[in-house]
Each structure stands twice: as C-alpha cells, then as structure tokens.
C-alpha cells in the first residue's frame, strides 16, 4: 500500500509540473513561404532564412514576428506571422500545473503560428 501511495504522489507531482504544450508540440513551428515569382529571400531580423519556395522554423514567442520578402527587381513586402492559442496548454490548467503553464508561457509554446503557409505576390519595380 505504501508503494502505491508513493507512486501516486510521484505521478501527481510529475503531472502538475509538466509543461504539456512544450512537451507535446515543442516551442518551434515550421512555416512555408511561397512567392510569385519564386526565388525571393525570406529575411528575419536581418538574416536570410531561406529562398522561396521554402520551409523554415521559427521559435514561438510572445513578441511580434515579421519577415521581409525580397527579390531583386521587385518591391519588398513585410509579412506578419500570425499566432493563435495552443489548446494543449489547457491540460496544464486542468491538472493544476501552474508551474507547467508558466513554462509554456516562458517558452512561447502556449501560442502556435497559424497559418503555417504564406503566399506572397511580389510586384515588379
């Protein structure tokens, strides 16, 4: 009986301190960029992430994320990456895991990027 109680207590502590969204959905999202015409650079914080068509990862965060789409001979465009609430985070609240919820907040895992694909039409200069 003592062993069962110990296992139950340990399980309770583990469940209440997990960060479900971080564990189950990670803290990054892959986002696909398409442009018309193809071959544009996707630039984030001054760094080229990829050339379209492409898929690249972005760390989830509370802050706003914007990428710049650039191609020689075409007007540049800024694209704001949209986010939505990650419902997996609710598991922490249901099981009383405020610590886990805090971890999800800190890692940005309580949000997820949505949509996961952006198509941008570039205008010629």
pLDDT in tens, 1-20: 555 544 444 444 444 444 45
Give the Cα separation of 118 and 40 in Å (integer): 13
Nearest alpha-carbon partner for 65 in 10, 28, 24, 14:
28
Does an H or E element contain 107, and which? Answer: helix 98-107
Give the Cα separation of 54 and 94 in Å (integer): 38
pLDDT in tens, 56-92: 999 988 889 999 999 999 999 999 999 988 777 777 6
Mean pLDDT calculated for residue range 24-50? 92
Do 58 and 44 touch, CB atoms closer than 8 A?
A: yes
Q: What's the pTM value of the predicted model, to 2 decimals?
A: 0.74
Other CB atoms within 10 Å distance of the CB of residue 104: 28
Q: How far is the CA of 113 from the CAs of 47, 66, 68, 100, 119, in angstroms? A: 20, 12, 17, 20, 15
Give the Cα separation of 62 and 65 in Å (integer): 9
């Amino acid at each position: 009986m003592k062993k069962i109680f110990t296992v139950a207590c340990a399980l309770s502590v583990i469940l209440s301190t997990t960060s479900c969204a971080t564990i189950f959905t990670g803290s990054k999202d892959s986002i696909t960029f398409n442009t018309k015409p193809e071959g544009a650079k996707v630039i984030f914080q001054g760094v080229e992430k990829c050339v379209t068509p492409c898929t690249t990862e972005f760390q989830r965060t509370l802050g706003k994320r914007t990428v710049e789409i650039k191609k020689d001979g075409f007007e540049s465009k800024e694209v704001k990456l949209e986010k939505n609430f990650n419902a997996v985070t609710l598991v922490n609240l249901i099981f009383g895991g405020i610590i886990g919820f805090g971890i999800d907040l800190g890692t940005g895992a309580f949000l997820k990027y949505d949509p996961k694909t952006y198509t941008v039409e570039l205008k010629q200069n």
